[in-house]
Amino acid sequence: MKVLVINAGSSSVKYHLYQMPDAEILARGFVERIGEETSKLSHFFHGKTHTVSTKVEDVEKAMELILETLADKEVGVLRQISEIGAVGHRVVHGGEEFTGSVIIDEKVIASIEKFADLAPLHNPPNLAGILAAQRNLPNVKQVACFDTAFHATIPKVAYMYALPYELYEKYGIRRYGFHGISHRYVARRAAAIMGKDKYDINAITCHLGNGCSVTAVKQGRSIDTSMGLTPLEGVPMGTRSGDLDPAILFYLADKGYDAKALKALCNKQSGLLGLSGISNDMRNLEEFARKGNVRAKLAIDVFCYRIKKYIGAYAAVLDTVDAVVFTGGIGENSVFMREKICNAVTQIGVQLDYAANQNAIAKEAEINTKDSKVKIFVIPTNEQAAIANDTYELTSDKQPIVSKQNSSGNIAQKQMEIPHGRS
């Protein structure tokens, strides 16, 4: 079966076409600058690159362009788009209703719309991608894979905020967590590398990129994570503040900041960018720090310190730790940051192999010494392969359709296995 994976954002749509069940990538690419005067399609296939500059008004037009390109006689990999057997979509927020991936029906669409209040920057474009795919591929099953689903196992003691309880009952205010597809993938891979069953591993998974989150995985299940109601909570990120005293916002409101300005401040102007005043890109900050820039060094130090605190806290929550896993753009590529973080948390039993760390750039590797009590892994995340596999498992003839209501009235769902995938 050929499975198309779609990740639709407000200004871009990313896509991967897989041959399943081997998770072989046939083509991939993205449409960027959607809604601007000149948009761009970048299409990668058979070791070649094809680009198109044109105006793409919205996600609907982006989907049309992607499908036309996939079936193009010269640069496509399909004879016709009817070869696509299923479409999998990344959806950021599934609230408390979705504990796994699910075949999309009208009830699922209504729920995604409902949770747009909790993820206003993500769920609406995710839903636009679903609707565009349905219109262009009306007879093809669609699957929603939720970023929040892996964190559905977090216990109430960890997900409740110490606010009036009625705010949880009325508005669903609680910790949901994000990057769940990524955390699930790397936790499963770490277990496989160690020769363990997927439910026989305690790990601290660190997804470090422009967005960052740390998750405590106990017996293969998420039991706590750094992001909260929204992706703003947790460790400092590229432009997001992470944890802060909420009274800061009240104080700034008294100084004349309105809600829109405060939202922009916390989401767009803070984090590494706010601290350094230079860049939200860790590569740039490392270069500036080497040249003696004090604020670049401060941003790096704060970033590392906050991650250290989360790793320490989650080591306490887990009692025993089998592995620490690094993934995401920074986690997979920054030798310096992995060294700095590992050296800060030696008390939990990690011992870094410096030579192995130097060689582990954007590839799967074990970077601990032989004497280390805790394994340290670099595992490039593969959310697309995870989505493709969930989609294949849910829509292939061998599997039941699970988006129908079960006897309890809840939408039945299933968290699927994740292949290593080939890319």
Cα 231 to its chain centre, rounded Å, is 10
CA separation for the pair 73, 78 (Å, rounded): 8
Q: Is 365 helix (H, G, I), strand (E, B) or coil?
A: strand
169 vs 103: CA distance, rounded Å: 27
CA 398 to each of CA 139, 275, 393, 395, 403: distance values in angstroms, whole numbers, following the listed order:
19, 52, 8, 8, 15
DSSP class of residue 411 equals B
Instruction: Residue 89: name the closest of 44, 123, 41, 42 by CA.
Output: 123
Type of residue numbered 91: V
184 vs 400: CA distance, rounded Å:
23
d(CA 170, CA 155): 19
Instruction: Write the CB contacts of 31 (distance below 8 Å, at least 6 apart in sequence).
Output: 12, 13, 39, 40, 41, 56, 62, 65, 66
Pairing of strands 141-146, 84-91: parallel
Cis peptide before 125, with omega less than 30 degrees from 0? Answer: no
User: What separation in angstroms does the CA of 196 have from each of 82, 187, 188, 201, 381?
Assistant: 40, 11, 9, 7, 19
Tokens 């106990």 found at: 218
For 370, other C-beta atoms within 10 Å of its C-beta total 6
Half-sphere exposure of 283 (CA within 13 A, CB side): 6
Please report, in angstroms and rounded to a whole number, the separation of the first and last CA atoms in the chain: 17
DSSP state of 417: P
Q: Hey, what amino acid is at 169? A: E
Residue type, 177: G
Q: What are phi and psi of 213, to 5 degrees?
A: -155, 150
Residues recognised as catalytic? 147
If you ran DSSP here, which 8-state letter would residue 414 be given? Answer: B
